Amino acid sequence: MASNREMNALGRDPARVRSLTLGLLKLAETAENIFTEWELTFLRSLVGQAETTVGLTKKQQKQKDAGRLTARQAEKLLDIRDATVVHRDIGGVSVRNLINRCYEGRCELAEDDEQFVERVYRSGAAELRGRDLARLRRCSVQLGELEDYT
């Protein structure tokens, strides 16, 4: 989770916002289903807002307080960024190992979780992004492969 200091610094720097959002949108082009439609719309709107502000002089930016993100916008942007980080382990246990363990016990999971585990197992993934990692963690706890506090 991002600190208040990082959110404030990001909110005051339209060039940094532009760079971060363009990078995230570029990632969306290469990795499928990484963002929801709302997140893509949000990122595109931030790029437009930042590009408008970057063209203003410092004096104009200060007069209008232009381009400054709200605390919530900065928080959401950093949450989206953090969700794209790839993880190889959960609490010291490798993701690949957990996928294998969950695959063995998948029949004890709800149908949608069972399909998720089968899909991830077939993909041969050894690392996962935030949302998929959280789901794998939940399935692992449910099957008793991880402790709830991990």
Same domain, 121 and 134: yes
Classify residue 65 by its DSSP letter.
Answer: T
Compute the distance between CA of residue 135 and CA of residue 115 in angstroms, rounded to an integer.
12
- The tens digit of pLDDT for each residue in 21-40 reads 999 999 888 877 788 899 99
- The tens digit of pLDDT for each residue in 91-142 reads 889 999 999 999 999 999 999 999 999 999 999 999 998 889 999 999 999 9
Same domain, 74 and 98: no
Q: Which of 24, 15, 19 is nearest to 79 (CA)?
A: 24
Classify residue 35 by its DSSP letter.
Answer: S
Last residue of a domain, one of 61, 84, 107: 84
- Amino acid letter at 85? V
Question: Is the pLDDT assigned to residue 77 strictly greater than 90?
Answer: yes
Q: How many residues appear in the chain?
A: 150
| The pLDDT value given to residue 1 | 67
Classify residue 146 by its DSSP letter.
Answer: S
Question: Is the pLDDT assigned to residue 55 strictly greater than 80?
Answer: no
Report yes or no on whether pTM surpasses 0.85: no
Token couple for 101: 């363990």
Same domain, 19 and 77: yes
Same domain, 76 and 91: no
Same domain, 69 and 102: no
Q: Which residue intervals of 31-90 are DSSP H helices?
A: 37-54, 58-64, 71-83
| The pLDDT value given to residue 52 | 76
Domain that holds residue 128: 87-143
